[in-house]
Structure 1
Amino acid sequence: MWTIVHTDVRYKDIPIFILGGGSNIIFSDGVLDVFALKIEIKGFEIVSEEQNYVDIKVGAGEIWDEIVSRTVSMGLSGFESLSLIPGTAGASPVQNIGAYGAEVKDTILEVEVYEIETGKVFNISNKDCKFGYRDSIFKGEARGKYIITGVTYRLSKSIPRLPDYPGIKSYFIDNNINIPTLAQIREAIISIRQSKLPNPNEIPNVGSFFKNPIVEKVVAHKIKEDYPDAKFFSVDDTHTKVPAGWLIENAGLKGKSFGKVSMYDKNALVLVNKEGATCEDVIRARDEIIKIVKDKFGIELVQEPEIL
């Protein structure tokens, strides 16, 4: 299919947009003059197995949470904290998806790509993907250069690490679970995510709208002076991750409406489309939220979803 599109003169001057599940995309208003190519490549294959780990190769079009469910049922650890994240396997390295202290980069061995200019298929190593917080080479210098066709992950057979988050710990205490299994960790993540994130099929949203900013420790310390109970997360010796939802909520914006767009009343990190909002409405709300948070805390939020 790609060869046909790439060589057909009818598509010569039309930008090509590669679409996974579309769960992290906001479409602009009006008519988009692009050729959208939705990736539906399937496949789930064990390519190597050792005493402590299993390597699996997954087609880029596989639904992410179905992969998580399958690997958890196999007793393999590495994906359980990433349960219920929407989208496809091919999108996982692009965004370096993450949740509850886990990032997919820690499981990726290599990413199989189709190079658009040459038509060659080859693998890009974890190191060469240049992973960062919600970032990778595929969002930067290699944007538009490749089509991701598959991803190879390494998952562990060892006892899973319990996510160090208060809500998860409370879930296990409330359910009298002392040593949670992989399946129970997945169940906890799903329960918590469902309580905080609206179903996009019922309430239109793209999940977390802003990235959690990583700031210098001196900035976080200054905020903690006024909010001593705030829960921040150390990144390294000089940087701290500050939850964007906390900043938005403590700026008084949780549940606040911005015309046809509003902050979700159960999660200040989620923007919801209440009544047919346009992309322009969303951008206007985004800009106002960014300004209010920056005026109060001196931290500038960065949106997570892509606007096409």
Structure 2
Amino acid sequence: MTHSLPLQYDVSLRNHNTFGVEARAHAYLPVTSAGALETVQRDAGLAALPRLILGGGSNILLTRDFPGLVLHMENRGIEIVGEDEDATYVRAAAGENWHQFVLWTLAHGLGGLENLSLIPGSVGAAPIQNIGAYGIELKDRFHALTLFDFATGERTTLNKAECMFGYRDSVFKHRLRDRAAVLDVTFALPKKWQAAIRYADVSNELAARKIVEPTAGQISDAVIAIRTRKLPDPAVIGNAGSFFKNPLVTAKQRDALLTKYPQLVSYAQPDGSVKLAAGWLIDQCGWKGRTAGAAGVYENQALVLVNRGGASGADIAQLANAIQEDVAQRFDVMLEPEPIFL
């Protein structure tokens, strides 16, 4: 079948992943509209290729070249699409930069996403990962999304329940992985906004700024300051933000660990489970600031693995595996990576 898609072949993905690791795509297509995806789906040759749907590349570890078609979501657009007595509804295209979208909502007087400021990546990738920070997860502000389903060739809308959100998890990591591309996401931003500042980092930062009753914009500024101190800029040092999920354990496991490690950092969850601070566990094993060749652990935050220049995805995966083994041996807790390994 003939098509007029701006397809490229044998393309470097180094500038399309925040780790900055070198890997090549057999075929690469920048996607600016759903029409491009429909054309791919109708072309028997393209439809048969392995498929990787790429956003900002901030939640992926490329350990090899990709033998198929990389679809890079680059569609744009943000608009207020409605309101009711509870919320204002804002729709953003998948290719929009997540942080710039958060700033847009704040500039339009809409609170609710401020705790998620400065998280790297795109709007379309945010529900896949159910991104979260400082007490707020994407699902808390999610209304619906539109996707293109390669199995049916149709655009479909999913509500919150259909997305099956979990901790850094969704249906897109399971049944719909590489089968569906998110086209846009609609958020319900609360009209009765309340500051979410229960996390010590945020409340301490606000206290240092002598802010007692913060606005959404002031919380965003505080979160940006905290993240800037803790996390390296991917444009300077390759990284994917927090590399490991904070592990969930039972209260009984937490209590047993507390007897041996009184300084253990943990957070009780509404369902009775307990979330442990993965960064603290890694730090206790002596990994913070260590290097393994060109891969390493960031000196200011043990949760962040970095490419110090020239590391391959396999180097970073090997480092992650060594950290997992150390934490498992010492604490009997298995850390799970946040990024998708490819």
TM-score, reference length from structure 1: 0.95
Residues 1-308 of structure 1 aligned to structure 2 (within 5 Å): 1-29=36-64, 31-308=65-342
Measured in 2, the distance between the counterparts of 1:24 and 1:6 equals 25
Measured in 2, the distance between the counterparts of 1:47 and 1:56 equals 6
Measured in 2, the distance between the counterparts of 1:142 and 1:219 equals 34
Residues 131/197 of structure 1: CA separation in 2 closer, same or farther (3 Å cut): same
Measured in 2, the distance between the counterparts of 1:151 and 1:82 equals 15
Q: Give 1:202's aligned amino acid.
A: V
Per-residue CA deviations over 1:227-273 (Å, capped at 9, x if unaligned) read 33333111135310001101101122111222221110000000111
The SS at the match of 1:267 is: coil
Measured in 1, the distance between the counterparts of 2:163 and 2:201 equals 32
Aligned-pair CA distance for 1:145: 2.2
* Deviates further, 235-244 or 290-299: 235-244
Measured in 1, the distance between the counterparts of 2:257 and 2:195 equals 30
- Count of residues in correspondence between the two structures: 307
Per-residue CA deviations over 1:49-84 (Å, capped at 9, x if unaligned) read 134420111111111111110111222222100000
Aligned-pair CA distance for 1:11: 2.2
Aligned-pair CA distance for 1:297: 0.4
Q: Are 1:77 and 1:158, in contact at CA under 8 Å, matched by a contact in 2?
A: no
Q: Are 2:126 and 2:138, in contact at CA under 8 Å, matched by a contact in 1?
A: yes
The SS at the match of 1:268 is: coil
* Deviates further, 54-63 or 12-21: 12-21
Aligned-pair CA distance for 1:117: 2.0
The SS at the match of 1:173 is: helix
TM-score, reference length from structure 2: 0.86
Q: Give 2:244's aligned amino acid.
A: F
What percent of counterpart residues are identical?
Answer: 38
* Runs (5+) with no aligned partner, structure 2: 1-35
Q: Are 1:75 and 1:157, in contact at CA under 8 Å, matched by a contact in 2?
A: no
RMSD of aligned residue pairs (Cα, Å): 1.4
Where does structure 1 differ by over 3 angstroms across 4 or more consecutive aligned residues? Answer: none
Measured in 2, the distance between the counterparts of 1:143 and 1:236 equals 29
* Deviates further, 52-61 or 10-19: 10-19
* Runs (5+) with no aligned partner, structure 1: none
